[in-house]
């Protein structure tokens, strides 16, 4: 595999830092970090360039907090300047290099390969080959982000990058906290890269035909469950021996038609796709809460409050739910359903 070198100067160039600043600020123009940075924007970028050039850059202190939806997680936040600008500058150059390593069954945080692309591919496989997709193996990695081993990650990074100065910078960012912190812009790429060669092993050595990975959530389909149980044993050994990771004990091997595949916020069957129960319940509760307000919300506000959940509905077979909820709206609100079948 060809390794890439001599790209550090491109990463730290003022032109790339300015581009990174423009990208990092999208949707955040009113945030405190952007407003403070803009008071000395050009001077800040020049200072960042000089610290990178001199090798004196150090990752800033993290602000750590907890979120509880969709599940409890520790989130690590870095200041807008200099860290988030730097992370975008690095990915401006490295993103096409790293994406070239990912196979087509890798999703999450990759341009044009989000939830709906993955869902579409799953649905297509179920429809086109019902016999070859009778059984499902569904697994995820135990405490994936906190469990990522730094030394192994550095070796994986070096399989594609050989620029010494850039590697030293990436090592400093990797070692700034235990594991890989959820919340860093770079973390989503580190996580995908960490499992990239596992993806290739499954597809190219184990010849798994139907396989999808979204972050650390993995779905594999096959015509019989014996194959999937044997494969699970090999997956556990690979992750343990090569990446020091463990599969969660809540793995599942089951016939698709009896339960459906709960994945990506949907439940997939051979004949149709439904919305995950928890998402449907949250949508119904939000509608009920809006309807109970003493002062009726405006039509625009009402639509804004439910549009994110409605986005889930429009990509699955949810016409009955849509019709039922529409009758409860105090306004006539129409959402266009997707013309792209999943």
Could you report the per-residue pLDDT of 110-165, keeping only the tens digit for each? 999 999 999 999 999 999 999 999 999 999 999 999 999 999 999 999 999 999 99
103 CB-near residues (< 8 Å, 6+ apart): 196, 199, 200, 203
Q: For the chain, give the percent of residues with pLDDT over 90.
A: 76
The torsion angles phi and psi of 230, rounded to 5 degrees, stand at -65, -40
Can you say how many angstroms the Cα of residue 91 is from the centroid of all Cα atoms in its chain?
15
**Contact between residue 108 and residue 96 where contact means Cβ atoms under 8 Å apart:** no
Asked whether residue 285 carries a pLDDT value surpassing 70, the answer given is yes
Rg (CA), the chain: 23
What average pLDDT does the structure give for the chain?
A: 93
Q: For the chain, give the percent of residues with pLDDT over 70.
A: 97
The first and second tokens of residue 94, run together, are 């490295």
Confidence at 172, pLDDT banded by 50, 70, 90 = very high
Q: What is the pLDDT of residue 334?
A: 66
DSSP secondary structure of 105-157 = TEESSBTTBSHHHHHHHHHHHHHH-TTTTSEEEEEEBTTHHHH--HHHHHHHH
Confidence at 338, pLDDT banded by 50, 70, 90 = low
3-state SS, 185-214, equals HHHHHHHHHHCHHHHHHHHHHCCCCEEEEE
Asked whether residue 92 carries a pLDDT value surpassing 70, the answer given is yes
Asked whether residue 342 carries a pLDDT value surpassing 50, the answer given is no
């Amino acid at each position: 595999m060809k390794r890439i070198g001599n790209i550090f100067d491109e990463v730290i160039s003022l032109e790339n830092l300015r581009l990174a600043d423009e990208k990092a600020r999208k949707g955040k123009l009113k945030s405190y970090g952007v407003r403070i940075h803009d008071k000395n924007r050009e001077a800040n970028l020049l200072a960042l360039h000089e610290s990178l050039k001199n090798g004196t850059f150090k990752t800033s202190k993290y602000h750590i907090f907890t979120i509880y939806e969709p599940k409890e997680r520790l989130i690590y936040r870095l200041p807008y300047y200099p860290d988030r600008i730097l992370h975008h500058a690095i990915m401006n150059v490295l993103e096409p290099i790293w994406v070239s390593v990912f196979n087509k069954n890798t999703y999450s945080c990759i341009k044009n390969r989000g939830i709906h692309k993955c869902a579409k591919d799953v649905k297509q496989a179920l429809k086109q080959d019902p016999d070859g997709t009778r059984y499902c193996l569904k697994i995820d990695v135990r405490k994936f982000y906190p469990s990522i081993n730094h030394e192994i990650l550095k070796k994986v990074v070096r399989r594609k990058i050989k620029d010494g100065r850039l590697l030293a910078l990436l090592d400093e960012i990797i070692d700034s906290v235990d594991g890989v912190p959820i919340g860093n812009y770079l973390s989503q790429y580190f996580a995908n890269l960490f499992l990239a060669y596992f993806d290739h092993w499954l597809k190219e050595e184990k010849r798994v035909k139907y396989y999808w990975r979204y972050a650390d959530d993995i779905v594999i389909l096959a015509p019989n469950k014996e194959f999937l149980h044997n494969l699970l044993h090999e997956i556990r050994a690979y992750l343990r021996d090569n990446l020091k990771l463990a599969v969660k004990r809540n793995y599942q091997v089951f016939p698709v038609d009896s339960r459906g595949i709960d994945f990506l916020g949907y439940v997939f069957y051979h004949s149709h796709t439904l919305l995950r129960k928890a998402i449907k319940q949250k949508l119904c509760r939000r509608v009920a809460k809006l309807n109970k307000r003493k002062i009726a919300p405006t039509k625009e506000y009402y639509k804004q409050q439910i549009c994110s959940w409605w986005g889930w509905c429009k990509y699955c077979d949810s016409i009955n739910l849509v019709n039922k909820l529409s009758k409860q709206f105090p306004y006539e609100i129409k959402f266009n359903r997707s013309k792209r079948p999943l």
